[in-house]
Amino acid sequence: MTMPELTPGGDRGVAKPWVTSDGQIRDFDPVQQVRIQRHRKQHTTWQRKASRRKRGSKNQNKAARYQQYEKNIRQDYAQQTGHRLVANDSYDVDVFEDLPIQNMTKRPQAKKDAERQKRESGS
C-alpha cells in the first residue's frame, strides 16, 4: 500500500464538524443538533434579559452557560472522533493540523484608501 492510502485526511470545519478525504461527512447526532439550536435560542433570550440587569451580577452571567453547552458538545465530539481515528487499525499514520478556526471565520477589517476613507476589503 502507498502512503496516501495509509494516511487519512480530515478537515474540521465550522458548518460540518468533520469531513474526511474519502468523502465521509460526520456531523453531530440529531439530538445534539436539536439541543444546540435550543440553547442558541435560549442564549439570545438571556442576552436580552441580561442587558437590563445589573452589571457583574449572577443573573447577568447566566447567558454564558448556554454558550458553554455548545462549546462542551464540540469539545466532546472532537475527542470522540480523535479516539475513533486512533483506534482504527486501517490507517498507519494520523496527521492533525492545528488551524486557528476563529481567525478564519472572522470578517476582515475594512481597508483605508489614499484619502483615509474606509472601503470594501475585497474578500
pLDDT tens, position by position, 93-108: 766 677 777 777 777 7
C-alpha dist (Å) from residue 99 to 2, 96, 102: 27, 9, 9
Residue 89, helix vs strand vs coil:
coil
Q: What is the pLDDT of residue 98?
A: 75
| Cα 29 from Cα 81, distance rounded (Å) | 13
Q: Is residue 85 assigned to a domain?
A: yes
Residue 38 has pLDDT above 80, yes or no: yes
Q: What is the pLDDT of residue 34?
A: 93
| Cα 68 from Cα 73, distance rounded (Å) | 9
Rounded to the nearest 10°, the torsion over CA 121, 11, 79, 26 is 110
Q: What is the mean pLDDT of residues 58-85?
A: 82
Q: What is the mean pLDDT of residues 52-64?
A: 78
Q: Is residue 75 assigned to a domain?
A: yes
Domain containing residue 56: 3-93
Q: Is residue 47 assigned to a domain?
A: yes
Q: Grade residue 17 by pLDDT with cuts at 50, 70 and 90.
A: confident
Q: Domain count for the chain, please give it.
A: 1
Q: Is residue 16 assigned to a domain?
A: yes
pTM score of the predicted model: 0.62
**Grid cell listed for 94:** 494520523
Q: Is residue 79 assigned to a domain?
A: yes
Tell me the backbone φ, ψ of residue 119, rounded to 5 degrees: -140, 175
Q: What is the mean pLDDT of residues 13-23?
A: 75
Q: Is residue 84 assigned to a domain?
A: yes
